[in-house]
Each structure stands twice: as structure tokens, then as C-alpha cells.
């Protein structure tokens, strides 16, 4: 459920008209609903009330500081994968103890930064990283709390590019090396081994791979404890999918939480989960205006002012987003099949093929649903297009939470060397 509904013939985000926002801000822009974000967080958290759980929101899904702060105010910590994300989490007021630092390639500089900020946990993804982290922590005379991220060799059956838990994926420590890695961790100085972590992928629409992976990991916690390791935390990552399309409905957060609770409760560990998409995906839309409708003998193209640089998921993952007109479709409207494409000079700049939509014309507004996760964060300036702005709505209020950069600002990043002037 989200809070993007039609009101008096026009799409609204909570109590704010999208048409009015488009006139004020210009298009394209992302629009987030506070009520939806909060609702999703609460529904998700409700499922875990039987076990001590820290929800560490995966910032990579949407790292706008206003979004992070909205979730942090609900109690969320942060799962970060770069120094920049740690900075964002701190700026949003996330308690450093609730910050987890994941990622396969943390540099020594990033480790030092996070150690100085006293973050709660590093999820270590290789034996090489373990050694580096121990050295960096020793050089700062501090101790790093670590969980070893294990790769359970389970295929999450999601898009190949966002599957992370197969043994051939770059993430985590291979099952056959896990014990040696824990032994390394015990030997190295300046490390405090607190847990086990895993994450098998994103947009997962079936509980079976979660179950397979979590069972392996729960077994590992038991074994490690028998071998004398004081494993007090278990971090099960994120990955629960959202319904982008009516044909593929993922398990509910309640079902997902029930599975985890059943498996994890007997361990009496502190649980960490790292949801991203499920919290913010349906809390955002991307609004765009039709530049023109190009009719050829072969196809009809609705060319819109958003491009793959603003929302890359369809190009990168062949992802589906529902597209709706901002003006409510009334009975007599004529529908037609069309390709919805952006203005970027790439054949792949296509949002939808053969999509049946109400007939569109120059100036019409459309919205991409479920664009709150992996949308704005993946935007760029390819083709020298301005970075897309973001707006947040809260009831009747709205605020621009990232302004559209001007061309002056964009071009000012480039510097012409002296020898060319």
C-alpha cells in the first residue's frame, strides 16, 4: 500500500498534487511519500517484535538524507557500503552504534574513517579485508567489532546482476573458508568477533532461497559457538522484493519475518536485518513530461523528458515499472500500445515496450510507480543532463530534498588545464 492516489482527477502524493509539484519544480523529478516510508518501516518492524532486532536500513536503496532521517526517527540504523554512506547516515542522525559497514572493497581510508566514528559493526567479506582491518584498527589503537559475511552458495533466483550469494559471486567468504577465516579473526589483534552476516541478493520474490541460506547460517552459528566463539549477533542482510508487477507478488514482510523468527529465536542472538527496497521502493515515484509522441509506420514512441540517466533500472535490469498518467484516466479515454523512451542517445534508453497506455500528447505528465529504491541513487548526468531533483511530501507539506543542479554548477565541475587556454 502506498499514498499515491488520484484526488479530484489528478495523481497526488498524500495531500499534494503531482501536477502542482511539476509546475513548481519542473520535470523530471522524484517524489517520496513520508507516510508510505513510515508505514513500510512500521509494518516491517512489527514482524520482528519477538526477537531483539536492529533494522539497519540499506542506504544504497535511497540515500537522500531526508529519507534516512525519516527512517532513523522510527528507530532505523544504517547499512552502509562506502565512507560517503557512513557520512550520510551520521548526518541524518543515525547512532554510530547502529551503523553496519558492508561491502567487498572497503579501502584502508574508509575503514579508518568508520573506526574513528565508532560504528557498530564491520561486515568483513574476505580474509584479505580481515587482515587490513586488523592493521588499520591497530594503527588507531582501537578495536573493530566484526561479523564475517559468509557466502552460503544459494541462488536467490532474482536478476543475475543483483544475486550475491552464489559461490561465484564476489561477495562474502566461501563456505569452505569460513572456519579458517574465523580462526584468522581470533588470531589477529584489534578485532572483536561479534557475529555472522550474510546477504544473498535483492528483489527476491520467494521465501525458499532465504530459508535455504538462513538455515545454513543458523547451523554455522551453532557450530561456531560449540567451537568457543561468542557469536552474539546475526545479520541476515536485506533482499525482500516488492511488487513491481501484478504477476510477481513477493512474500509479505510478515511472512519473511515469521520465517526468520522461527529459525533465529532459539539462538538468542541480536538480529540485524538490512532492508532497502522494501522500505522505500513503493514510497517513491518518478514524474516526467511527454516531450512528443513520435509515430512511425513501425512503432509509436512516447518520448519523455526522463531518461535512463534518471532511472536506469529498466535499461540495467530489464526492470518493469508501472507507468500511470498523472491526470486520471476517465472512461472515454483511448488506449494504445507504445514504447516509452527517454531522450538519451542510446538505443537502450527505453522504459517500456509495447506498453498499453492512454493516448499521450506533448505536455502530458506521467509517473513511474515504485521508483523510490535504486532510482535517484543511481542517477547520473550522462548526455550532460541535469541530475534529477527529489521532493518529499508529508501530508499537505512538501519540500525539495535535493534541488536540480543548474547547468552552471554542472559545467563548473570541469576544469580546463592551463595549457589549453
Ligand X SMILES: Cc1ncc(COP(=O)(O)O)c(C=O)c1O
Residues that bind ligand X in the complex, under the rule CB under 6 A: 58, 60-61, 79, 102, 199, 202-203, 237-240, 274-278
Q: 238 or 307: whose CB is closer to ligand X? A: 238
Q: 199 or 369: whose CB is closer to ligand X? A: 199
Residue 299: what are its φ and ψ, rounded to 5°?
A: -150, 165
Spatial contact of 184 and 191, defined as CB atoms under 8 Å apart: no
**DSSP label of 16:** E
Intra-chain end-to-end CA distance of the chain, in Å? 57
Least distance (Å) between residue 411 CB and ligand X: 33
Query: Quick one: which H or E segment has residue 191?
Result: strand 191-197
Residue 345 bears catalytic tag: yes
Nearest to ligand X by Cβ — which residue? 276
Q: Which three cell numbers stand for residue 357?
A: 497506455
Spatial contact of 164 and 171, defined as CB atoms under 8 Å apart: yes
Least distance (Å) between residue 367 CB and ligand X: 21
Q: 102 or 121: whose CB is closer to ligand X? A: 102
Q: 202 or 370: whose CB is closer to ligand X? A: 202
Least distance (Å) between residue 259 CB and ligand X: 15
C-alpha span between 67 and 95 (Å, rounded):
16
- Bridge partner list, 192: 145
Least distance (Å) between residue 280 CB and ligand X: 8
Q: Which of 31, 80, 280, 345 is catalytic?
A: 345
What Rg value do the Cα atoms of the chain yield, rounded? 23
Least distance (Å) between residue 164 CB and ligand X: 6
Collapsed DSSP state (helix, strand, coil) of residue 221: helix
C-alpha span between 209 and 204 (Å, rounded):
8
**Beta strands at 191-197 and 233-235: parallel, antiparallel or unpaired:** parallel
Q: 274 or 349: whose CB is closer to ligand X? A: 274
Which residues are the active-site residues?
Answer: 345
Amino acid at each position: 500500500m502506498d499514498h499515491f492516489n488520484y484526488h479530484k482527477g489528478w495523481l497526488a502524493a498524500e495531500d499534494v498534487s503531482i501536477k502542482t509539484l511539476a509546475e513548481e519544480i519542473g520535470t523530471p523529478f522524484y517524489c517520496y511519500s513520508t507516510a508510505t516510508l513510515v508505514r513500510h518501516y512500521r509494518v516491517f518492524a512489527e514482524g520482528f517484535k519477538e526477537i531483539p532486532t536492529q533494522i539497519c536500513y540499506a542506504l544504497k536503496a535511497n540515500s537522500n538524507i531526508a529519507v534516512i532521517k525519516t527512517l532513523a526517527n522510527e528507530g532505523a540504523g544504517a547499512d552502509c557500503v562506502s565512507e560517503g554512506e557512513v557520512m550520510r547516515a551520521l548526518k541524518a542522525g543515525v547512532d554510530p552504534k547502529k551503523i553496519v559497514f558492508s561491502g567487498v572493497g572497503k579501502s584502508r581510508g574508509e575503514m579508518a574513517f568508520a573506526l574513528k566514528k565508532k560504528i557498530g559493526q564491520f561486515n568483513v567479506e574476505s580474509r584479505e579485508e580481515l587482515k587490513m582491518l586488523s592493521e588499520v584498527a591497530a594503527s588507531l589503537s582501537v578495536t573493530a567489532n566484526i561479523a564475517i559475511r559468509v557466502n552460503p552458495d544459494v541462488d536467490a533466483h532474482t536478476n543475475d546482476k543483483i544475486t550475491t550469494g552464489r559461490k561465484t559471486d564476489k561477495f562474502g567468504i566461501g563456505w569452505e573458508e569460513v572456519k579458517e577465516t574465523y580462526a584468522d579473526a581470533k588470531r589477529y589483534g584489534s578485532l572483536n568477533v561479534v557475529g555472522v552476516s550474510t546477504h544473498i541478493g535483492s528483489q527476491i520474490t520467494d521465501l525458499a532461497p532465504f530459508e535455504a541460506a538462513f538455515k545454513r547460517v543458523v547451523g554455522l552459528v551453532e557450530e561456531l559457538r560449540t567451537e568457543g566463539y561468542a557469536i552474539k549477533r546475526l545479520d541476515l542482510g536485506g533482499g525482500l522484493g516488492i511488487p513491481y508487477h501484478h504477476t510477481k507478488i513477493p512474500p509479505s514482510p510478515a511472512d519473511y519475518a515469521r520465517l526468520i523468527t522461527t529459525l533465529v529465536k532459539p539462538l538468542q542472538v541480536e538480529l540485524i536485518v538490512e532492508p532497502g527496497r522494501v522500505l522505500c521502493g513503493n514510497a517513491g515515484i518518478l514524474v516526467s513530461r511527454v516531450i512528443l509522441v513520435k509515430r512511425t509506420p513501425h512503432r509509436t514512441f512516447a518520448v519523455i523528458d526522463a531518461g535512463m540517466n534518471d532511472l536506469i533500472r529498466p535499461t540495467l535490469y530489464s526492470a518493469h515499472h508501472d507507468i500511470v498518467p498523472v491526470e486520471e484516466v476517465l472512461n472515454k479515454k483511448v488506449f494504445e500500445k507504445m514504447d516509452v523512451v527517454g531522450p538519451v542517445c542510446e538505443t537502450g534508453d527505453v522504459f517500456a515496450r509495447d506498453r498499453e497506455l492512454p493516448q499521450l500528447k506533448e505536455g502530458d505528465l506521467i509517473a513511474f510507480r515504485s521508483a523510490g529504491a535504486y532510482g535517484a541513487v543511481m542517477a547520473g548526468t550522462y548526455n550532460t543532463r541535469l541530475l534529477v531533483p527529489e521532493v518529499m511530501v508529508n501530508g499537505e507539506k512538501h519540500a525539495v530534498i535535493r534541488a536540480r543542479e543548474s547547468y552552471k554548477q554542472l559545467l563548473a565541475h570541469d576544469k580546463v588545464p592551463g595549457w589549453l587556454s
